[in-house]
Amino acid sequence: MTNFKFVVKVNRGGTRAPSYVHRVDCAPLQMTSNRKQALVMGRFAAEDAIKSIQSSGSSQAELITVRVHL
């Protein structure tokens, strides 16, 4: 059975590498540049993280779909 989860990718502009949400249980959200360490979460949690990121500054965030085999 295949299930879909989401990773939040953040582009802060410039020449920086993209960041990924690592933890959401603290403020501000913790970020990582390693996609394998990114938090895999449900759609609603990912959308809430995107809203938080976009309201805090000029960063652009997007959802990335990840297949999870159960």
- Where along the chain do its domains lie? 2-65
Mean pLDDT confidence for 4-13: 90
For residues 33 and 20, is the Cβ–Cβ distance under 8 A?
A: yes
Model confidence at 66: pLDDT above 80: yes
| pLDDT value, residue 15 | 65
Q: Which residues contact 59 (CB under 8 A, 6 or more apart)?
A: 10, 11, 12, 13, 53
Task: Please state, rounded to an integer, the average pLDDT across all residues of the chain.
Answer: 88
Contact (Cβ atoms closer than 8 angstroms) between residue 7 and residue 66: yes
Tell me what pLDDT residue 2 has. Answer: 73
Alpha-carbon span 41 to 38, nearest angstrom: 9
Amino acid 38: pLDDT? 94
At 68, is the pLDDT very low, low, confident or very high (cuts 50, 70, 90)? Answer: confident
Amino acid at 22: H
